[in-house]
Amino acid sequence: MFNAPPPFTIDSQQLYLEIPQSPEKQEQPYSTAGACQRGWINQKCLQAFLPWFKEEIAPTARVYPNSAALPSFWEVVNGTAITFDRDRLVLIPTLAIDGDELRVPQEWVDIPEWVADYYIAVQVNPDEGWMKIFGYTTHQILKTKGVYDPGDRTYSLESEDLIPDINVLWVTRQLNHSEALRAEIAPLAPIAKTQAENLLERLGDPDVKFPRLAVPFSLWGALVAHGGWRKKLSELRQGLLIQWSIPQWLQTGVANLAQQWGWEKREFVVSTGMRSAEPFLGLSRQIIVAQNTYELRIFPKSASEDHVWRFEFQSTTPDGQIPAGFKLRLLTEDLQAFENNQDTATTPVNMLYLEVILELGEGLVWEIEPAPEDYDREILRF
């Protein structure tokens, strides 16, 4: 990486970064050539920007929500989110050589879960091996001064309305952190499970080249804001078979995609009475909350066909406890609560747990409060 410009005339305020050399082959499959190029360009942009940003501005910076989720975003929309301190920025790369505007997809501006504080305009030149940050703006400015184009559902700002020097971002954050960075936006109405299934069936067809423009934004935004549905959409468009079946994982092994999210098959020894302990085959993944590591376990309560599943949340540290105020919560696929769906630590405890009877093929979403690092909703199917 370098800050010196390539050998031609430039504005010295703008930052140039070298794009790391890597194989041209795109490991993650995408449904269309356009999605494949979008994924590749966003990956290049991220590889160049994040190490510089961590070294120069925010050591705690990391991808939002996590690296495993990125392909499901890039399948349908341009941009990559990064969290740092308590803020979020979105990188918006473009291959356009004139670099005369920042054009941000509506998803990053009007989906409450996706909204960022800053939007970074990046010109990527993969042939020459460099990228240029030609300016940035805030959500507040984008919503109030940006031009909304209903044709491609983007907000745009001309380059003269951008702040050209990204170092100004750091200086203003140090001097005036009370600056209003985000504008008020309306929440998106939730959509029912049957409606989501209809949308997934329709938009999961890779012949629909621009799924983000194929239905009203209120429906599209609510669909992809749900991590489980967004991942399902990506899998359908790529022709992948069901990836999130817990019984299937227990029988044949955890799917490759789920392994990227940290799931693994394990044998647990579970106490079943005063003197007996039985081994149970189940699933496990590690979770980081407030810089401490915990484990979420899922396993069938018994070998019988009664479809009772147990969820456990506990510390990975011997004798470690769950702090008071922590919650383990289960929701239906469309995020509805049900009876006895939550366990709360009113005092420090060794474990939080829930037991549920599930229909064959039923889907559940798990949540931990406070929210874990790298959390993105996933639908586990039983």
Q: Give per-residue pLDDT as tens, 304-343.
A: 667 899 999 999 998 899 999 999 999 999 999 999 999 9
Determine the pLDDT at residue 86: 87
CB-CB contact of 296 with 274 (8 Å): no
Positions of the chain with pLDDT under 50: 1-10
- Which of these, 115, 189, 190, 113, lies nearest to 377 by C-alpha position? 113
Q: What's the pTM?
A: 0.90
CB-CB contact of 46 with 74 (8 Å): no
The helix or strand, by DSSP H or E, that contains position 54, with its residue range, turns out to be: helix 33-56
Q: How do the domains of the chain map onto residue ranges?
A: 15-175, 193-237, 246-381
CA distances from 71 to 31, 45, 245, 314, 330 (A): 11, 14, 20, 30, 26
Please give the Cα distance from 289 to 231 (Å, whole number). 23
CATH number of 15-175: 3.40.1350
Burial readout 254-278 (b: 16 or more C-beta within 10 A, e: otherwise): bbebbeebebeeeebebeeeeeeee
| Residue carrying structure tokens 């629909």 | 208
Which tens digit of pLDDT belongs to each residue from 148-181? 999 999 999 998 899 988 888 888 877 766 678 9
- Which of these, 113, 65, 123, lies nearest to 92 by C-alpha position? 123
Which tens digit of pLDDT belongs to each residue from 296-310? 999 988 766 678 999
Determine the pLDDT at residue 271: 62
227-237 vs 193-203: helix crossing angle, rounded to 10: 30
